[in-house]
Amino acid sequence: MPSEDPQDLTPVQQLLRMRRNQIPDDEFIEGFLSDFKERQRSEMLRQSARGLLWERWTTYWENRAAPKWALAGVAAALVLGLGLVLIPKAVEGPMGDEVAGIESGLSSDIQADPNAAFGTEAILIMGMDPEGVVEETPMLLSRHFSGGYADEAREVKAVVKQESGQSEMSGREDEP
């Protein structure tokens, strides 16, 4: 027990200790007890089975000696475990089937009817006449390098020009 000698106590402690002698009388205690019993009875009637179960569950864990962080760890592991079990099921479930159906049906649909697969874009593409619209201009890389096709073409053009020039000259000379 804390020191009982009033000489050792500070005035504050002396004042606090005066409250030790404040005790309720028997009447108060009996009244309290009867209120307590009444409350217990009415609670039993009011509480649902689910409420009782939840209360028992929380009371059980509150009385465990395990520290709070250990309980938090167990709860986290349970959530993780449930997540692992439920998430794959969710993919295989209604949405999963839908995705799987789309995947398998897509290739066969394209083969059967490309328009169905690509919609209006497919119609537009197929309706076009590539040869009528696109102008093809042959382009060879070699024309950019000396000794390539371009050089040969230039040489040919020069020869043709020369020859035509000569024939023009001779034509004039031949004129009367």
Q: How far is the CB of 44 from another protein (least distance, A)?
A: 11
Q: Which of 59, 111, 137, 146 binds another protein (CB under 8 A)?
A: 59
**Does 154 sit near another protein (CB under 8 A)?**
no
DSSP 85-132: HHHHHHHHSHHHHHHHHHHHHHHHHHHH-HHHHHTHHHHHHHH--HHH
Q: How far is the CB of 74 from another protein (least distance, A)?
A: 18
Q: How far is the CB of 104 from another protein (least distance, A)?
A: 56
**Does 49 sit near another protein (CB under 8 A)?**
no
Q: Among all chains, which residue has been given the structure tokens 């009637």?
A: 45
DSSP 25-52: -HHHHHHHHHHHHHHHHHHHHHS-HHHH
Nearer to another protein, 56 or 161 (CB): 56
Inter-residue contact 148 to 142 (CB < 8 Å):
yes
Q: Which of 5, 7, 10, 139 binds another protein (CB under 8 A)?
A: 10
Q: Which of 41, 47, 53, 56 binds another protein (CB under 8 A)?
A: 56
**Does 61 sit near another protein (CB under 8 A)?**
no
The phi, psi pair for 100, rounded to 5°, reads -60, -40
Distance CA 60, CA 53 (A): 10
**Does 137 sit near another protein (CB under 8 A)?**
no
Q: Which residue ranges make up the site for another protein (CB under 8 A)?
A: 1-2, 10-13, 15-25, 27-30, 32-33, 35-37, 39-40, 43, 55-56, 59-60, 62-63
